[in-house]
Structure 1
Amino acid sequence: MDVITTHVNADFDCLGAMVAAKRLYPDALMVFSGSQEKSMRDFFLKSPSYVPPFTRLKDVDFEQITRLILVDCQHSSRVGRFAEVAGRPGVEVHIYDHHPGASGDIRPSGGEIRDCGASTSILAKILRERGTEVTPVEATLMMLGIYEDTGNLTFPSTTTDDYAAASWLLERGANLNVVADFVTQELTAQQVSLLNDLIKSLQTVCVNGVDVAIAHAALEYYVGDIAVLAHMMRDMENLEALFVVVAMGDRVYLVARSRIPEVDVGAILREMGGGGHATAAAATVRGETVIQVVERLQRLLPERVNPKRTAADLMSSPVMTMPVGTTLAEAREYLTRYNVNAMPVMDGERMTGIISRRIVEKALYHGLGDLPASEYMHTEYLCAEPSTPIAALQEYIVVQHRRLVPVFEKERLVGVITRTDLLRYMYAGLQRTAEAVYDLARDNLPVRRREVLHLMNKSLPARVVSLLRDLGRVGDELELPVYAVGGFVRDLLLGNENDDIDVSVEGDGILFAETFAARMGYRVKSHEKFGTAVIVFPDGFKVDVASTRLEYYATPGALPTVERSSLKMDLYRRDFTINTLAIRLSGADFGMLFDYFGAYRDLQEKSIRVLHNLSFVEDPTRVFRAIRFEQRLGFQISRHTENLVKNAVKMGFLDKLGGKRLLNELVAIMKEREPVRAILRMSGLGLLRFIHPEIVLQAENLRVLDEVKKVTTWFDLLYLAETVEVWVVYFLALTTAISDDSFWGACTRLSVSEHYRERLIEMRIHGEQVLEVMERKVARGEDVRPSDIYFWLRGLTTEVLLYIMAKTRRDEVRKFVSLFVTRLRGVTTSITGDDLKRLGLPAGPRYREILDRILTARLNGEAASRDDELRIASGEIAAV
């Protein structure tokens, strides 16, 4: 039995999400786990025609529940009696919630949890994508949920998905008059009185340089919709962060709102048993007075409110510089190589000025490229310290139109702050560009930080979490910032298993790896040239460690030149935004997620995006990786990124790609779970011609490729103690329509080793010949004995055997190969050449002929024992 439920004290978003979930799970019962908000109870009384068919809690047979669908909740303490069901072995739990940061203790086996203004919007999007229709009544109930939790689509937590869901529901007949009547109601006399008390008690405290407002009140009766009052107060008083604390009966209710990144109200109220977004959250406390709750909140704020940022928080380090003797022509190369618009000029350890791209370009226009850059650099500039407040930088950069501020510790240059760094801070969260069409290093996306420690504890094995903490502790000892990066972080957020842990160290990664290995008694392999190392555990488990670095490419398709750099630039060199996330392992920020390039957003939108427009020019292999990630994750290459792929194809950049690198990417694609979809995508983008011009996907190729999936799955299910190179089978299928000479050319293009190339072409030719013989025999209706099958197929590799099974259209031929693989190829004779020698057979080629004759008898069931074989051998020898 399926049951749809939500948290106690349900609101309109709970109602709308439950109604939407009913469309996804049509046989499920809708049951409230507890009471409902007063506004929703009033709605049911005044609009009985809108009341959906709910089942009473007391009528539910809890023992019969096999699947529990939770909406707008992840915590067992908020679902009443259903908490026991959620923890029962064998019960599926599907959760649909718009609080991905909630510290819920219920681990879902299905559903969807992601940032959104309302849980209803998540379910509405699923219904829309599946083409599931809803009635006007259902659309109205769902619209109520969205409007309530997004403040009529005005709250900062509102997303494009909420707007899209509202539009879709309106098209399906949602009644906005009904929505307006119950979402935008006038305040009651009790609410007005409470609002007055809250305004009188309002106090602002400065916490870590951030103004936080707290208002409190105590009532003997219950007043609903405190969240509405909190929003009104925030807007009336123009508050950046507000906590409202109201005691009613034996409970104290907290509602919090924040407009600034320094105050994550969701994280703060999670510490008090509640939860929510960074911008909106709530909690309920029992057994304490309103004064006690306020005091506990005030003690918690200094620990959870992030300080206002200083220059140290914004600056990039280490600093890329150029020497004082650099010419203007060379200066342009420096600026282009490091993708910056301004750079300090150094005389040894002393900074002498700043040269900007604008000055360099103008000087080159006037033919001054051979002159020293120091002749035209800025020699007057603001010298900031790490403790310099951001406000002191704003006028210099914005009003005086300066591009760069150097940061010094005494006279040593330790960092720089660019105009983009400042704008990103000033406008964090205000700009949400759906499709970046320029370098993300210059994009004003906010540097977002999210605490994902709860997700790590919930999703990762205890051993892995302990390992990450150990890595962080060694980083603290060495005073080196340490981060988990790349695919491990991406898959953690997506809920996918990934045991490949990559660690980046801001500093000496090899020193870190060697120190960690020495502490733990593990082995380490270091690569000085690239600043990387591999920590090898006793059980073979490995952790890859790298110093944060940047890469630049001398020519398109060339291998990169590597230099030490900051975390941000290290992440910027990666292939796609979704692989640029980092989790801090060292320091007090263990479990903090760093997102410089909008990766979290792209994970939500299921989008594959490059970081800059020359990405495929510098490394064309990324074209194939884009397709691989797209198909593996079920994502979509973004429109702009796909245009860049098409441009790389049109410009022929993939022709410059080394064969070995191209082969590695193809092997990786063909090892994926669903390689055919990726091959189809490659074909659609015109990539197959870079393997060989004659490779074109046609009906026959596609048929054979589809069959490869079936036969390799069949082989896996045999559980034989044998490994097979599945990619070879797919490669043979992909090239099935081209000639042997063209196949040789494709292998040559891919730099397949000469020995393996010769072996592969030999097997391909032999396999095709055998296939032709078997199909001809079947077509003629001739009898085929097991021994015929054995001698036809003997000597072919498993990969070629599977290719034959995939290529043939005849079931009889597939049965022949299946019989060979599962039984015939393991058949052997009991007697050997020594037995023939004892029987008096003189040395010569007759040994092989007689042994094959005996093997033929074995295969065809004409010899069942050693005596039978000796009898046959004696007869053959006597006939000589």
Structure 2
Amino acid sequence: MDVITTHLNADFDTIASMLAACKIYPEAVCVLPGSQEETVKGFLVQSAFYNLPMRKPREIDLDKVTRLILVDIRSRGRIGIFGELIGRPGVPVHVYDHHPDEDSDVKGDVEVIRRVGSTTTILVQILKERGIPIAPDEATVMMLGIYEDTGSLSFPSTTVDDYLAAAHLLSCGAKLAQVSDILARDLTSGQISLLYDLIQGTRTYTIRGVEVVIAEARREEYVGDLALLVHKLRDMEAVSILFVICQMGDRVVLVGRSRKPEVDAAAVMREFGGGGHAYAASATVKDVTTFQIRERILRVLDEKVIPRRSAEDVMASPARTVDAGDTILEVHQALSRSNINAVPVTRGGAVVGILTRQVVEKALYHGLGEERAGEYMNADYETAAPDTEIERVQEIIIGKNQRLVPVLRGTELVGVITRTGLLRFLYDMRDVEIPGEGEDVDAEGAMAPRKNVANLMRDRLPARVLALLRAAGECAESLEMKAFAVGGFVRDIMMRVENLDVDIVVEGDGIRFAEAFAEEQGARVRPHHKFGTAVMVFPDGFKLDVATARVEYYLKPAALPTVEYSSLKQDMYRRDFVINTLAVRLSPEGFGEVIDFFGAQRDIKEKIIRVLHSLSFVEDPTRILRAMRFERRFGFTVGRHTLNLIRNAVRLDLLSKIPKPRLYSELELILKENDPVSIIRRLSELGLGTSIHPALMLEKPHLALLGEAQEVLAWFSLLFLEEKVEKWAVSFLALLDPLSPNDAKKLAKDLGVRSRVREWVRICKDEGESAILQLISMTSISRKMIHDVLSPLPTEVILYMMARSKHPDIKRYISLYFTQLKNVRLQVKGQDLLDLGYRPGPLFKKIFDLLLERKLAGDLRNKKEEIAFLLSRFPLPQNRDVPENSR
């Protein structure tokens, strides 16, 4: 027996989800494990739930349940008696839900979990995809589910999928008038009385700097639709965080609502056996008083409330400074190197003023480059302490128009808060506007700094790697440093792409951290003191790249960078693209918290590649090739501004100015991608081939050859999965095809290609063509001839020749060589000939040639047949006997 069930307090989304699930599992029975909201209960009584196979929990024999289908719920503790079936052998669990992930979630054998406004949306999408018809009355019920959980498609949690599902239901005949009538809720006299008592029972608490309102009331009888009263109370009192405690008979009903990221309503309700969303949650408790509940809520909040952020949480550290004795020209250079617009001015180590780029540039315009910074700094400024509240910082920067706020601990400068930094913080931490319970925080956007991927890391990473990251955070903390996982590793975690190429950035001394961590873990360290980086190599070969948070600046276009130590934010700013600027905190407190200074999560969600600043390609032109590679690998699109910058860099021919080995390192990565041809075609569209070599125009015939090389490699992979071949090198040989032998060999040398690959280039140009001509020119060709021509050549060269040749016989010969001839070996060796009594000399070569020819022809299958054939063609003198072991 299949059973469809949901959570204990059913609403319209759960009812509609069960109806939709019945159409996917037509043999299943529906069971509501608990109570329903009053409006839902009335609807069920009037509609009889459209004759669905409804059962009560007591009517279900759990031993006869063969499959459990959960809709709108994943919590084992909120499905009543059916929690006993979770994990029972022979009872698969199918889950359809739209709630956020929780550690205690049931793991289904089939899971369809999507971030949409309602679970009904998910199931309607499945019905539509499978072509399962929906009757008008069924469509109306399903529309009720979507409308209730999305506030009639008005809550911020509403997605495009919700609109599309509603549109499909409308096309199936859903009656919006009935939906509106059912959802219209006039308060009863009992509800009005209860609302008045809640208003009278409201008290405000400040917990760790966050204002929380708790309202209490008592009723001997049950009053329905408490959630509706909570919404009205919250709106009437303009409350951002509200917990309602209402005793009804022998039970206490709890409802939590939060518009602030500092308080997770679901986390609080889970302490009472309930659940829900971070912004809307509920629970029911028996045999306790409202006083006990209130005190416990306050204790839970004291543990779980995220404290109000202070200046220390927003500041960039360490701060860049200039000295009051520096010239205006020197200050301008410092600002340009660090990509900042304002800087504290110090004298004797103490902050004495602030200088902005605007003032510096005007001073330069007026010819004051040799004047001292102290003459033009703003000495009328305000500072903040590390514990200064954000509201005060906001008042200084916005209210008093101060571009930068130094953060001082006593007289020590510990960091700075910039206008841009504050605005991004306010954007990321803005209140979540929730008109109802349907809000869902954008997982990739507004709540970025609060997003924690510790659970995702646990699911995606090997246990050993996760343990190493935790240990790295603990080691850094013991050294009074901060460690972060950064870059492509974090990007790929967010995108659910496998990547164990781990980069760690340390705010502090990265080499000192690496040495301490290596000693703790039994690893070796290879430090690079010039760049403040190190590579940790573990006994099993696993590697961790460690870097000190640093800022890079370029003395001229395409030059190698000059490095200075800096903060995590400055380190992220030197990255190539916004999508690679994510960091994850490794400290024990806050492990897994995502740090997103530049909107990388938004770019990942929108599938766009953007540079961080307009001189990115001027400073490092190889980023152009990287942009093309990421664009095709991830299916992203290069942003319009970024594409314009690429075109400008191509116009300036910047790629030709960088050292060829740096160019080659990016080129090899492109050729190692799954679809290198599409990337090279993109390079062709931008006219980048000539930056590699003037003769590489990347025209259609050349691109066709590269495509043919990929087809040959695909064919070879299907046949010879056990034989190792450097596939990218075959594509590299095809890329160099238009070049003359001398140009190709010179380019390979200039690029710094490995000696083995350079040898393959030489063979292709010096011997490949003659090998092809030799095979074509023969009037009749034997299997031995094919073997003799091809066997001296590397596999990569032969595959390139196969792709390049348009002659069908050549492709046939090469195919025959790989499938039947390449691995043919004689079992008879020289020692065997000596043992038989043959004398060394030219005869040996003649014998082996003939034996191989017959072996390749398939006439000889084993050593015994080889010797018999040998003796028949090259008889021994009469007085010599064949050794016993050769018979």
Task: Quote the Cα distance in structure 1 between the aligned partners of 2:689 and 2:2.
Answer: 48
Task: Quote the Cα distance in structure 2 between the aligned partners of 1:737 and 1:55.
Answer: 73
Residue of structure 2 equivalent to 1:321: 321
Aligned-CA RMSD value? 4.4
AA aligned opposite 1:694 = M
Residue of structure 2 equivalent to 1:481: 482
Change (3 A) 1:761 1:445: farther
Task: Quote the Cα distance in structure 1 between the aligned partners of 2:82 and 2:685.
Answer: 49
Residue of structure 2 equivalent to 1:524: 525
Structure 1 residue 714, shift from structure 2 partner = 0.9
Task: Quote the Cα distance in structure 2 between the aligned partners of 1:61 and 1:809.
Answer: 68
1:694 aligns with 2:697: yes
Residue of structure 1 equivalent to 2:885: none
Kept after mapping to 1: 8 A contact 2:677/2:707 = no
Task: Quote the Cα distance in structure 2 between the aligned partners of 1:775 and 1:82.
Answer: 74
Structure 1 residue 231, shift from structure 2 partner = 2.3
Q: Which moves more between the two structures, 743-752 or 578-587? A: 743-752
1:828 aligns with 2:825: yes
Change (3 A) 1:835 1:390: closer
Kept after mapping to 2: 8 A contact 1:694/1:742 = no
Residue of structure 2 equivalent to 1:188: 188
Kept after mapping to 1: 8 A contact 2:684/2:697 = no
Change (3 A) 1:597 1:22: farther
Residue of structure 1 equivalent to 2:559: 558
Change (3 A) 1:445 1:135: same
AA aligned opposite 2:201 = S
Task: Quote the Cα distance in structure 1 between the aligned partners of 2:93 and 2:688.
Answer: 42
Residue of structure 2 equivalent to 1:756: 757
Kept after mapping to 1: 8 A contact 2:488/2:580 = yes
Structure 1 residue 240, shift from structure 2 partner = 1.9
When normalised by structure 1's length, the TM-score is 0.84
Residue of structure 2 equivalent to 1:704: 708
Kept after mapping to 2: 8 A contact 1:549/1:570 = yes
- Cα deviation per residue 1:738-758 (whole Å; 9 max; x = unaligned)? 776775576467443566334
Task: Quote the Cα distance in structure 2 between the aligned partners of 1:823 and 1:240.
Answer: 76
Kept after mapping to 1: 8 A contact 2:684/2:698 = no
Count, aligned residues = 859
Task: Quote the Cα distance in structure 2 between the aligned partners of 1:128 and 1:764.
Answer: 58
Q: Which moves more between the two structures, 492-501 or 766-775? A: 766-775
Q: Which moves more between the two structures, 325-334 or 149-158? A: 149-158
Residue of structure 2 equivalent to 1:572: 573
Residue of structure 1 equivalent to 2:415: 415
Structure 1 residue 191, shift from structure 2 partner = 3.1
Q: Secondary structure, in 3 states, of the residue corresponding to 1:484?
A: strand
Q: Which moves more between the two structures, 229-238 or 457-466? A: 457-466
Kept after mapping to 2: 8 A contact 1:157/1:279 = no
Kept after mapping to 1: 8 A contact 2:253/2:283 = yes
Identity, % of aligned pairs?
47
AA aligned opposite 1:354 = I
Structure 1 residue 94, shift from structure 2 partner = 6.8
Change (3 A) 1:171 1:416: farther
Structure 1 residue 342, shift from structure 2 partner = 0.7
Change (3 A) 1:430 1:391: closer
AA aligned opposite 1:369 = G
Task: Quote the Cα distance in structure 1 between the aligned partners of 2:738 and 2:133.
Answer: 45
Residue of structure 1 equivalent to 2:513: 512
Residue of structure 1 equivalent to 2:504: 503
Task: Quote the Cα distance in structure 2 between the aligned partners of 1:402 and 1:416.
Answer: 12
Change (3 A) 1:52 1:705: farther
Kept after mapping to 2: 8 A contact 1:708/1:729 = no
Residue of structure 2 equivalent to 1:363: 363
Task: Quote the Cα distance in structure 1 between the aligned partners of 2:782 and 2:99.
Answer: 66
**Is there any run of 5+ residues in structure 1 with no aligned partner, and where?**
433-443
Change (3 A) 1:528 1:225: farther
Residue of structure 1 equivalent to 2:542: 541
Residue of structure 1 equivalent to 2:848: 851
Structure 2 matches for 1:426-465, cutoff 5 A?
A: 426-429=426-429, 448-465=449-466
Kept after mapping to 1: 8 A contact 2:582/2:600 = yes
AA aligned opposite 1:827 = V
Structure 1 residue 47, shift from structure 2 partner = 6.5
Task: Quote the Cα distance in structure 2 between the aligned partners of 1:26 and 1:706.
Answer: 45
Residue of structure 1 equivalent to 2:440: none
Residue of structure 2 equivalent to 1:439: none
Task: Quote the Cα distance in structure 2 between the aligned partners of 1:46 and 1:353.
Answer: 74
Task: Quote the Cα distance in structure 1 between the aligned partners of 2:2 and 2:807.
Answer: 45
AA aligned opposite 2:825 = T
Kept after mapping to 1: 8 A contact 2:504/2:545 = yes
Task: Quote the Cα distance in structure 2 between the aligned partners of 1:753 and 1:182.
Answer: 74
Change (3 A) 1:403 1:825: same
- Cα deviation per residue 1:799-849 (whole Å; 9 max; x = unaligned)? 234445656789986675455445533322233445556778777666434
Structure 1 residue 303, shift from structure 2 partner = 1.5
AA aligned opposite 2:420 = T
Task: Quote the Cα distance in structure 2 between the aligned partners of 1:370 and 1:411.
Answer: 29
Change (3 A) 1:8 1:447: closer
Task: Quote the Cα distance in structure 2 between the aligned partners of 1:175 and 1:668.
Answer: 57
Q: Which moves more between the two structures, 153-162 or 204-213? A: 153-162
Structure 1 residue 306, shift from structure 2 partner = 1.9
Task: Quote the Cα distance in structure 2 between the aligned partners of 1:557 and 1:331.
Answer: 24
Q: Which moves more between the two structures, 667-676 or 417-426? A: 667-676
Task: Quote the Cα distance in structure 2 between the aligned partners of 1:472 and 1:80.
Answer: 41
Residue of structure 1 equivalent to 2:620: 619
Structure 1 residue 62, shift from structure 2 partner = 9.4
**Is there any run of 5+ residues in structure 2 with no aligned partner, and where?**
433-444, 877-887
Change (3 A) 1:178 1:118: same
Structure 1 residue 547, shift from structure 2 partner = 1.8
Kept after mapping to 2: 8 A contact 1:708/1:733 = no
Q: Which has the larger radius of gyration?
A: 2
Task: Quote the Cα distance in structure 2 between the aligned partners of 1:47 and 1:703.
Answer: 62
AA aligned opposite 2:450 = R
Structure 1 residue 270, shift from structure 2 partner = 4.0
Residue of structure 1 equivalent to 2:879: none
Q: Which moves more between the two structures, 470-479 or 630-639? A: 630-639
Change (3 A) 1:431 1:868: same
Residue of structure 2 equivalent to 1:208: 208
Residue of structure 2 equivalent to 1:714: 718
When normalised by structure 2's length, the TM-score is 0.84
Residue of structure 2 equivalent to 1:374: 374
Residue of structure 2 equivalent to 1:404: 404
- Cα deviation per residue 1:374-430 (whole Å; 9 max; x = unaligned)? 221112211322122333333332222110111112222111111223333444455
Task: Quote the Cα distance in structure 1 between the aligned partners of 2:590 and 2:507.
Answer: 15
Structure 1 residue 477, shift from structure 2 partner = 1.7
Task: Quote the Cα distance in structure 2 between the aligned partners of 1:673 and 1:713.
Answer: 13
Q: Which moves more between the two structures, 271-280 or 536-545? A: 271-280
Change (3 A) 1:364 1:551: same
Q: Secondary structure, in 3 states, of the residue corresponding to 1:589?
A: coil
Structure 1 residue 99, shift from structure 2 partner = 3.6
Kept after mapping to 2: 8 A contact 1:102/1:270 = no
Task: Quote the Cα distance in structure 1 between the aligned partners of 2:650 and 2:228.
Answer: 55
Structure 1 residue 608, shift from structure 2 partner = 3.7
Residue of structure 1 equivalent to 2:330: 330
Kept after mapping to 2: 8 A contact 1:101/1:277 = no
Q: Secondary structure, in 3 states, of the residue corresponding to 1:588?
A: coil
- Cα deviation per residue 1:160-209 (whole Å; 9 max; x = unaligned)? 76667767877887654344333343233443333223222211101011
AA aligned opposite 1:292 = Q
Task: Quote the Cα distance in structure 2 between the aligned partners of 1:857 and 1:672.
Answer: 42
Structure 1 residue 345, shift from structure 2 partner = 1.9
| Among candidates 789, 794, 802, match of residue 791 of structure 2 | 794
Task: Quote the Cα distance in structure 2 between the aligned partners of 1:3 and 1:599.
Answer: 43
Structure 1 residue 797, shift from structure 2 partner = 2.0
Q: Which moves more between the two structures, 394-403 or 117-126? A: 117-126
Residue of structure 2 equivalent to 1:149: 149
Kept after mapping to 2: 8 A contact 1:453/1:591 = yes
